[in-house]
Amino acid sequence: MGASTAMQDYLAEAYRIAYYQKETPYVSTSALAEVLNVSAPAVTRMVQRLKEAGYLEHEPYRGILLTPAGEQEALHNIRRHRLVEVFLVDVMKFGWHEVHDAADSLGESVSETVVTRMDQMADFPRRCPHGEPIPTADGVMPRVVDFPLNEAQAGSSFVISRVTTHDADQLEYLGGLGLKPGARLTLIGRAPFNGPLQLEVGSAFPVIGHELAGRLRVCDPADFELRR
């Protein structure tokens, strides 16, 4: 018997945290509680369930580490969620700011056969609408190489790799400026003391705040097409 939906959600979030942190493969339970917006006791109870099911290891003062079985469950959940998002945006023409919560709900009910058909109809995408990588059907996660726009050097040009916010208003605003994954931009300059950044995007010259710019991850154009 596979992991329940709630168990998969925990595993997927733990995988996401571990995927992007560089210093350790272990994930703290406090970080997991914060991302999932649940209490520490709730995380402790679920971690114990997942450990008993063989999906993770837990070491006091270090955190949790997914087992191979836990990673596969996490990747299955992540793939389904991101493909549903792509299908909603590319095929059903929802806005990219509308689909995160909907994909959570739909992902609980769609079968693997439906997910496979969504993948085909969306032309086998490698990123979700927000730029996050989509694992392959056999559980291989592409590696992303990018960094926050607010750490970029002025005068340089990049491609937007990912947008790391689920806030609908922020996504709608960024989309209106043409700041979506795959878009090319040049950082013209920035005001001192974490001031706003001036960009060139096509024929437009938007200005965005330092904090919001940190939500945009950028990369070299050669790194946008993910290798598997």
pLDDT at 173: 97
CATH number of the domain residue 162 falls in: 2.30.30.90
Are 80 and 12 within one domain?
no
**Domain tally for the chain?**
3
Give the end of a domain, one of 14, 46, 66.
66
62 and 126 inside one domain: no
In this structure, the answer to whether residues 19 and 51 fall within a common structural domain is yes
Average pLDDT, the chain: 94
Shared-domain flag, residues 61 and 83: no
141 inside domain: no
CB environment 116-136: b (16+ within 10 A), e (fewer): eebbeebeebebbbbbbbbbe
**1 has pLDDT over 60:** no
Length of the chain as a residue count: 228
User: What pLDDT score does 104 carry?
Assistant: 87
pTM as predicted: 0.91
Residues 148-182 have pLDDT tens digits of: 999 999 999 999 999 999 999 999 999 999 999 99
Q: Residue 228: is its pLDDT beyond 60?
A: no
- pLDDT category at 3 given cuts 50, 70, 90 is confident
Give the domain extent around 125. Answer: 76-136
Instruction: Using the 3D structure, point to which of 96, 112, 136 is the last residue of a domain.
Output: 136
Burial of residue 54 (number of CB atoms within 10 Å: 0-12, 13-18, 19+) = exposed
Instruction: Check whether residue 85 and residue 38 sit in a common domain.
Output: no
pLDDT digits 0-9 by tens, 51-100? 999 999 999 889 999 999 999 999 999 999 999 999 999 999 999 999 99
**Quick check: helix, strand or coil at residue 179?**
coil
* Residue 142 forms part of a structural domain: no
CA distance 187 to 193: 16
**What's residue 146's pLDDT?**
96
**Quick one: which H or E segment has residue 184?**
strand 184-190
Structural domain ending residue among the three candidates 46, 66, 86 = 66
Does 71 reside within a domain?
A: no
In terms of domains, do 152 and 114 share one?
A: no
Q: What is the arithmetic mean of pLDDT over 2-10?
A: 87
Is residue 114 included in any domain, yes or no? yes
Q: Same domain, yes or no, for 53 and 101?
A: no
The predicted structure's pLDDT at residue 107: 81
Closest CA to 150 of 195, 201, 184, 200: 195
Same-domain check for residues 60 and 86: no
| pLDDT bucket at 122, cuts 50 / 70 / 90 | very high
Q: Model confidence over 85-95: pLDDT tens digits?
A: 999 999 999 99
User: Is residue 36 over pLDDT 60?
Assistant: yes
What CATH number is given to the structural domain containing 117? 1.10.10.10
Q: Are residues 151 and 219 in the same domain?
A: yes
Distance CA 91, CA 37 (A): 31
pLDDT at 227: 64
